[in-house]
Amino acid sequence: MRIRIQVSEADDAKAWAILIRHSIGEAYPNRIFVISEQAAKALLQAGIDFVELSREQGTAGAPGVASGERV
């Protein structure tokens, strides 16, 4: 599951440091990120303030093919 969040302005730099280590994610303007659940947990454990904007379930792919795997 991927989570769309917006990080507080005060925690932006700290969030980047954690996200670089914990997530292959996407970064957008205004401190918005699309990250994994594990990355969100890492942010919470570090005390980073963020607002969860939405969640997206993984889409069903071809049987026997992992998400993101090239076929």
Q: How confident is the model at residue 57 (pLDDT cuts 50, 70, 90)?
A: confident
pLDDT tens track for 6-28:
999 999 999 999 999 876 889 99
pLDDT at 56: 84
Contacts of 18 (CB under 8 A, 6+ apart): 39, 42, 43, 46, 48
Query: What pLDDT is recorded for position 69?
Result: 52
- Provide the CATH number for the domain formed by 2-56 in this structure: 3.30.70
The residue to which tokens 């607002």 are assigned? 51
pLDDT tens digits for 31-45? 999 999 999 999 999
CA 16/CA 67 separation, integer angstroms:
25
User: Considering the entire predicted model, what is its pTM?
Assistant: 0.75
CA distances, 54 to each of 4, 6, 11, 70, 71 (Å): 5, 10, 20, 27, 29
